[in-house]
Amino acid sequence: MANHNFVYATGMVIESITVPLDAQEQEVFAKARQRLKKIGQNPAQFSYSLFKRSVDARDRTNVQFVYSVLALSQNGTYPANQALLQRQKIRLLQENHIVPEYGQAPLTAPPLVVGMGPAGLFAALMLAQNGYRPIIIDRGDCVTKRVRTVERFYQTHHLDVDSNIQFGAGGAGTFSDGKLMTRIHDPKCTYVLNTMVEHGAPADILLLSKPHVGTDMLRNVVDSILKKIQDLGGTVLYRCRLDGFDQNADTTVTAHTTLGDLHCSSIVLAIGHSARDTYQMLLKKQLELIAKPISVGVRIEHLTKDIDRALYGDFAGHPLLGHAEYALSDTRTQRGVYSFCMCPGGEVMAAASEHGGLVVNGMSNRARDGRNSNSAIVVSLGCQDYEPVNGSLVEGAIALQRSIEAKAFALGGSDYTAPIQTVGDYLKGRVEHTPNRVTPTYMNGRCKLADLSQVFPAAVNRTLRYGFEVFDSKIQGFAATDAILTGAETRTSAPVRIQRSEQREAIGFSYIYPCGEGAGYAGGITSAAVDGVNTALAVMKRSLPFSN
């Protein structure tokens, strides 16, 4: 007879174990053992390992670590009483393996993946690991050449519209903090993180609740994944932009690219949130695109040590803490205002991808050792804020982004000099104070004092000013008069969504698979990578792998 008091699982996670910063691993495990005793378990029958770690800084006089511990039973069985487990903040862990389902049709041409950001990389890797020999293309350069192209832009101020901070191997995430946090709960997140560690990411991304890789290490991870795709029979093409496609009578697809036509069995559109010319091409092909909300605003810079002190108090500078992070939001007004992509010890990046537009973003290296910390402070805009262009709200959304970027470009002098303003001056509607204690990091200081309110609609300015005052009540000194604002941040997400079916195909277009952030289905590195994996699995349901 079955014993209904126990279930088989892959482990138990004992959560919310709070300890001082200097506590040793065994002190954490001792608290885990005490919890197991409370649910009637013999602690000696389990092995222990650290599972997750976060920082509790709500009390700045007593900053602590909060751990989760993974306990593995020697006999593989675990208590089934959920109410008992929940009272002790314990949950069962069920490991989910990715088990692909293969279609029955023979594969007559390789699948094509467009874009080498997280969605494209992981879609191509999953296809390659299962014998589909994908072709993956990107309009930009490989990582090494891309870094040189960006450095040349910084030196000469001549923008390469195909290879820049938005386009090229790794996508926009290559020049970022490399944050891997996500709000999705797809078990494939574990696959994504483990894969990144296998390809050179630091192992602590598996432990930390707010994992980050850092742009310097992320570049090596991208290179390694692309090499693995090639080792598994895939093809990697740089400086190859998708300009169109035709669906053939034999159910294959012909992709028209700047390197010529590519014959493929399907196209995964992992195009990224800045591929506006590709959006235009898809509109002409009559794919179903809809406008979606975006957020726009500025980058704010403080001294790293000031943010550390504001959030960690006397614990600021503790060697185990690293630099402080924050996430702020307020939705009490008509438009929400929130922080985005906070980069401790980072710099503000020149992230333009079109001539005549100025865009900023944030980036940190693994060490996060820069003098400033920065984040975007952005205001939510809805579809009601777009003026249709050619009868299209999609084109209206893109036009609004371009309008803000063009105003920032002109305000800086039309040479990619960024307009900046102190927080104190922005709040009082004046331009009087030059940077002093806090100095801008954009393009090594290539900035010009300006009235940033000229860049944004009045409603955005009102909400930004409200946000700075509210956030100052949450983090002392956040609205310090000498903090620096740089504009404009406009690429927090794609302004459109490419509609797709339950099979993940574009509505009305077989074998065309929109995915990732650029298609409107993800919001960061990890969620985009997972969407790429799920899209690859959908592609694989249509046909068998290549036969040897």
Task: List the CATH number of the domain containing 522.
Answer: 3.50.50.60
Please report whether residue 546 resides in a domain. Answer: no
Please report whether residue 99 resides in a domain. Answer: no
Whether residue 314 sits in one domain with residue 378:
yes
Whether residue 518 sits in one domain with residue 427:
no
Locate all alpha helices (DSSP H) within 3-142, ordered by sequence: 25-38, 82-87, 118-129
Whether residue 278 sits in one domain with residue 298:
no
State the Rg of the chain over Cα.
25
Please report whether residue 107 resides in a domain. Answer: no
How far is it, in rounded angstroms, from Cα 59 to Cα 67?
17
Please report whether residue 365 resides in a domain. Answer: yes
Please report whether residue 148 resides in a domain. Answer: yes
Q: Give me the DSSP letters along 93-115.
A: E----------SBPP-S--EEE-
Please report whether residue 51 resides in a domain. Answer: yes
What is the DSSP pairing of strand 253-257 with strand 242-247? Answer: antiparallel
Residue owning tokens 């997400």? 493
Number of alpha carbons in the 13 Å side-chain half-sphere of residue 190 = 11
How far is it, in rounded angstroms, from Cα 324 to Cα 321?
8
Whether residue 233 sits in one domain with residue 157:
yes
In three-state form (DSSP H/G/I as H, E/B as E, the rest C), the secondary structure along 321-388 is CCCCCCCCEECCCCCCEEEEEEECCCEEEECCCCCCCCCEEEECCCCCCCCEEEEEEEEEECHHHCCC
Please report whether residue 98 resides in a domain. Answer: no
H/E segment holding residue 412: helix 393-412
How far is it, in rounded angstroms, from Cα 199 to Cα 218?
10
In three-state form (DSSP H/G/I as H, E/B as E, the rest C), the secondary structure along 413-458 is CCCCCEEEEEHHHHHHCCCCCCCCCCCCCHHHHCEEECCHHHCCCH
Number of neighbours of residue 314 by Cβ within 10 angstroms: 11
Please report whether residue 531 resides in a domain. Answer: yes
Count of domains for the chain = 3
Low-confidence ranges of the chain (pLDDT < 70): 1-4, 7, 548
Whether residue 285 sits in one domain with residue 298:
no
- Give the domain-ending residue among 66, 93, 120: 93
How far is it, in rounded angstroms, from Cα 123 to Cα 528?
10
**Contact at 8 Å (CB) between 177 and 203?**
no
Number of neighbours of residue 80 by Cβ within 10 angstroms: 15
Give the residue from 337, 333, 261 showing the smallest Cα distance to 295.
337
pLDDT at site 94 = 81
pLDDT at site 1 = 32
pLDDT at site 545 = 94
Whether residue 145 sits in one domain with residue 241:
yes
DSSP label of 389: B
- CATH number at 29 reads 3.30.70
> Which tokens in the block code for residue 69?
């511990």
Whether residue 68 sits in one domain with residue 40:
yes
Measured N-to-C along each axis, helices 143-156 and 215-231 cross at an angle, to the nearest 10 degrees, of 140
Whether residue 510 sits in one domain with residue 374:
no
In the chain, the largest separation of any two C-alpha atoms, in whole Å, equals: 82
Q: Containing domain of residue 57, as a range? A: 6-93
How far is it, in rounded angstroms, from Cα 264 to Cα 317?
54
Task: State phi, psi for 401 to the nearest 5 degrees.
Answer: -60, -50
How far is it, in rounded angstroms, from Cα 222 to Cα 214?
12
Whether residue 301 sits in one domain with residue 286:
no
Q: What is the dihedral of CA 48, 49, 54, 58, to 10 degrees?
A: 30
Whether residue 471 sits in one domain with residue 442:
yes
How far is it, in rounded angstroms, from Cα 374 to Cα 216?
18
Whether residue 424 sits in one domain with residue 301:
yes
Measured N-to-C along each axis, helices 118-129 and 188-198 cross at an angle, to the nearest 10 degrees, of 90
Task: Give the SS3 label for residue 250.
Answer: coil
Number of neighbours of residue 77 by Cβ within 10 angstroms: 14
The residues that bridge with 73 in the sheet, in sequence order, are 46
pLDDT at site 7 = 67
**Contact at 8 Å (CB) between 352 and 403?**
no
Whether residue 463 sits in one domain with residue 375:
yes
pLDDT at site 186 = 84
